[in-house]
């Protein structure tokens, strides 16, 4: 009888051991725990930009402005330590002809637009596969427009520099310093080197209104604007990840 009891105990112990092993080797990889990351980002954004006073000037003078949605290509470089992340960013507008009314006689066309700044983020929530960041930052953003009239006047290229036309403004430029707040939804890093997708929704706001300027001449009494901008970004992080700071 004693031998039978000992045999049952031995079988039960073996079965429990097998159950533990099957859980350990279930095929689900452990959550990545890289302490430090270096990141490069590249992607696109679409921004809805508000500059009400210059647009009011355009409308009051029957000038058709560019469409207010601005596509941009974005670049960035930064580092993450634990749940904190610091990024340096820059963006430049993609050149598009976006006049809504192609029959308008006078039009304002965006010559250039861009921004540069820095952003500090904190990982407020993370799972096995995703991280959710709240980011805040600051930087500088600038826009430049030109205004011209469309005519059917034929002009020899040899004489184009001598051709004068009323209603033309070769340069209107505005630069604002801004604050930025955004929410970021990113893939969690899984390997020592990888590429992770990032979605970011945010708002930029100029710190103070500034007068429009011109590279062509001195302007007095120009309208002032404080740029505000809602934006959506879709990017990729290209990351190098380390278990310990300084370990390569």
Mean of pLDDT over the chain: 83
Determine the 3-state secondary structure of 93 from DSSP: strand
Confidence of residue 16 (pLDDT cuts 50, 70, 90): very low
Task: Residue 117: name the closest of 207, 17, 241 by CA.
Answer: 207
Q: In this model, does residue 102 exceed pLDDT 70?
A: no
- Residues sharing a CB contact under 8 Å with residue 112, sequence separation 6 or more, in sequence order: 92, 93, 142, 143, 144
Q: What is the DSSP letter of 189?
A: P
Q: Once rounded to an integer, what is the mean pLDDT over residues 118-145?
A: 93
Nearest-angstrom CA–CA distance, 42 and 40: 7
Q: Confirm if 174 and 212 have CB atoms less than 8 A apart.
A: yes
- CATH fold, domain 32-242, is Porin (2.40.160)
Determine the 3-state secondary structure of 68 from DSSP: coil
Q: What is the DSSP letter of 157?
A: G
pLDDT in tens, 186-231: 988 888 898 999 999 999 999 999 999 998 888 889 999 999 999 9
pLDDT in tens, 59-90: 898 888 777 788 999 999 999 998 999 999 99
- Helix, strand, coil percentages for the chain (3-state, nearest 5): 15, 55, 30
Q: What is the DSSP letter of 161?
A: G
- For the whole prediction, is pTM greater than 0.85? no
């Amino acid at each position: 009888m004693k031998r039978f009891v000992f045999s049952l105990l031995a079988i039960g112990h073996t079965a429990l051991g097998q159950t533990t092993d099957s859980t350990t080797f279930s095929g689900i990889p452990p959550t990545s725990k890289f302490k430090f990351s270096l990141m490069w980002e590249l992607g696109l954004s679409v921004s809805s930009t508000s500059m009400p006073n210059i647009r009011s000037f355009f409308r009051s003078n029957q000038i058709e402005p560019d469409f207010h949605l601005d596509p941009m290509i974005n670049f960035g470089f930064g580092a993450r330590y634990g749940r904190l992340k610091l990024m340096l960013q820059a963006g430049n507008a993609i050149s598009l002809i976006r006049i809504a009314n192609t029959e308008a006689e006078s039009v304002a066309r965006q010559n250039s637009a861009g921004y540069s700044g820095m952003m500090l983020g904190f990982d407020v929530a993370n799972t096995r596969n995703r991280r959710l960041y709240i980011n805040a930052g600051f930087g500088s953003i600038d826009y430049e427009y030109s205004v011209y009239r469309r005519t059917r006047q034929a002009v020899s290229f040899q004489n184009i520099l001598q051709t004068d036309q009323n209603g033309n403004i070769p340069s209107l430029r505005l630069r604002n310093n801004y604050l930025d707040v955004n929410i970021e939804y990113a893939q969690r890093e899984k390997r020592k080197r990888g590429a992770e997708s990032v979605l970011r929704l945010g708002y930029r706001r100029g710190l103070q209104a500034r007068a429009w300027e011109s590279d062509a001449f001195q302007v007095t009494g120009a309208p002032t604007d404080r740029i505000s901008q809602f934006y959506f970004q879709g990017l990729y992080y290209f990351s190098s990840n380390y278990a310990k700071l300084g370990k390569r």
